Amino acid sequence: MAVEKRNPIPVKEAIHRVVTQDIFTKHTTVNLEDSLGHILSEDIVATYDIPRFNKSPYDGFAIRSEDSAGAYSENRKQFKVIDHIGAGSVSEKTLGQNEAVRIMTGAQLPEGADAVVMFEQTVEDGDTFTIRKPFEAYENVSLKGEETTTGDVVLKKGQVINPGAIAVLATYGYTEVPVTQKPSVAIIATGSELLDVHEELQPGKIRNSNGPMIQALAEKFGLKVENYKIQQDDLQSSIEVVKDAMATHDIVITTGGVSVGDFDYLPEIYKAVDAEVLFNKVGMRPGSVTTVAVANGQYLFGLSGNPSACFTGFELFVKPAVQHMMGATAYYPQVVKATLMEDFSKANPFTRFIRAHASFSHSGATVVPSGFNKSGAVVAIAHSNAMIMLPGGTRGFKAGHTVDVILTESNVFEEEMTL
Return residues touching Mg ion (CB under 5 A).
191, 256-257, 305
Backbone angle region of 106, left / alpha / beta, with phi > 0 → left and psi within -120 to 50 → alpha = left
| Binding residue (CB under 6 A) for ligand AMP from 14, 131, 189, 275 | 189
Binding partner at 95 among ligand AMP, Mg ion, none, C-beta below 5 to 8 Å by kind: none
Contact code string over 56-95 relative to ligand AMP, x by CB under 6 A? ----------------------------------------
**Cis preceding-peptide flag for 51 (omega within 30 of 0):** yes
Backbone angle region of 175, left / alpha / beta, with phi > 0 → left and psi within -120 to 50 → alpha = alpha
Identity of the residue, 191 or 302, whose beta carbon is nearer to Mg ion in the bound complex: 191
Identity of the residue, 67 or 264, whose beta carbon is nearer to ligand AMP in the bound complex: 264
> Is residue 363 within 8 Å of residue 338, measured between CB atoms?
no
| Binding residue (CB under 6 A) for ligand AMP from 193, 234, 240, 414 | 193
The dihedral of CA 411, 168, 147, 95: what is its sign?
A: negative
Binding partner at 210 among Mg ion, ligand AMP, none, C-beta below 5 to 8 Å by kind: ligand AMP
Binding partner at 211 among ligand AMP, Mg ion, none, C-beta below 5 to 8 Å by kind: ligand AMP
DSSP label at residue 85: E
378, amino acid identity: V
Q: Is 286 in the site for ligand AMP (CB under 6 A)?
A: no
Q: Is 304 in the site for ligand AMP (CB under 6 A)?
A: yes
User: How far apart are the C-alpha atoms of 242 and 216, rounded to whole Å?
Assistant: 21
Contact code string over 362-381 relative to ligand AMP, x by CB under 6 A? --------------x-----
Q: How many helices (H) and strands (E) does the chain have?
A: 8, 28
> Is residue 404 within 8 Å of residue 341, measured between CB atoms?
no
Separation of CA 287 from chain center:
24
Contacts (Cβ under 8 Å, ≥6 apart) of 187:
211, 214, 215, 218, 225, 226, 227, 228, 253, 254, 255
| Binding residue (CB under 6 A) for ligand AMP from 258, 328, 340, 386 | 258
User: Interaction with ligand AMP in 196-255: which residues (CB under 6 A)?
Assistant: 206, 208-211, 255
Contact code string over 110-149 relative to ligand AMP, x by CB under 6 A? ----------------------------------------
> Is residue 51 within 8 Å of residue 146, measured between CB atoms?
yes
Nearest residue to ligand AMP on Cβ basis: 305
Question: Nearest distance from residue 244's CB to ligand AMP, in Å?
Answer: 19
**Span near ligand AMP by CB under 6 A; candidates 303-311, 345-353, 359-367, 405-413:** 303-311
Binding partner at 110 among ligand AMP, Mg ion, none, C-beta below 5 to 8 Å by kind: none
> Is residue 367 within 8 Å of residue 386, measured between CB atoms?
yes
Q: How many CB atoms lie within 10 A of CB 97?
A: 10
Identity of the residue, 110 or 313, whose beta carbon is nearer to ligand AMP in the bound complex: 313
Identity of the residue, 51 or 286, whose beta carbon is nearer to ligand AMP in the bound complex: 286
Which residues are 402's β-sheet partners?
A: 339
User: How far apart are the C-alpha atoms of 69 and 288, rounded to whole Å?
Assistant: 76
| Binding residue (CB under 6 A) for ligand AMP from 51, 286, 305, 333 | 305
β-strand pairing of 115-118 with 224-227: unpaired
215, amino acid identity: Q
Binding interface with ligand AMP (CB under 6 A): 189, 191, 193-194, 206, 208-211, 255-259, 261, 264, 304-307, 376
